[in-house]
A = this chain, B = another copy of it.
Amino acid sequence: MTDENRFAQTPKPPYFAVIFSSSVTGTDPDGYKATADRMIELAAEQDGFLGIESTRDEAGFGITVSFWRDQDAIRRWFEVPEHQEAQKAGKAKWYDHYSVRICQVERNYETGAR
């Protein structure tokens, strides 16, 4: 079942991560999907973006981790107007609950048939 594109190709640490955990309400699934896809595309256009990994189970619980060069890049990303609009819509209708954690990645390793 491997899809290697699901794994972010990040540089040697240190770099930064935003861990976004959320449970969706199930309201407006098409609008949610379109916006979620657009946010991944928009994030990838930002200076300092390093990659993203995202998954959600059938119960609606998801984790998205985006990777960034530094904290300034993260701060700017949260201030992008189109992203702010999406955050408002997310709070208003798509998410029951979410949590955001900003981290510094100190070590990473991986394995596999890549």
Contact = CB atoms under 8 A, between A and B. Distances in A.
B112 A108 contact: no
Interface residues of A, number: 48
Contact of A109 (B13, B17, B100): B100
Nearest to A27: B1
A34 interface: no
A19 B57 CA distance: 17
B100 A112 contact: no
Q: Which 9 A-B pairs have the closest CB atoms?
A: A97-B112, A103-B103, A2-B96, A1-B60, A99-B110, A101-B108, A63-B63, A102-B107, A55-B57
22 contacts: A1-B25, A1-B60, A2-B96, A13-B101, A17-B19, A17-B101, A17-B103, A19-B105, A21-B53, A53-B63, A54-B63, A55-B57, A55-B62, A55-B63, A57-B57, A96-B113, A97-B113, A98-B110, A99-B109, A100-B109, A102-B106, A103-B103
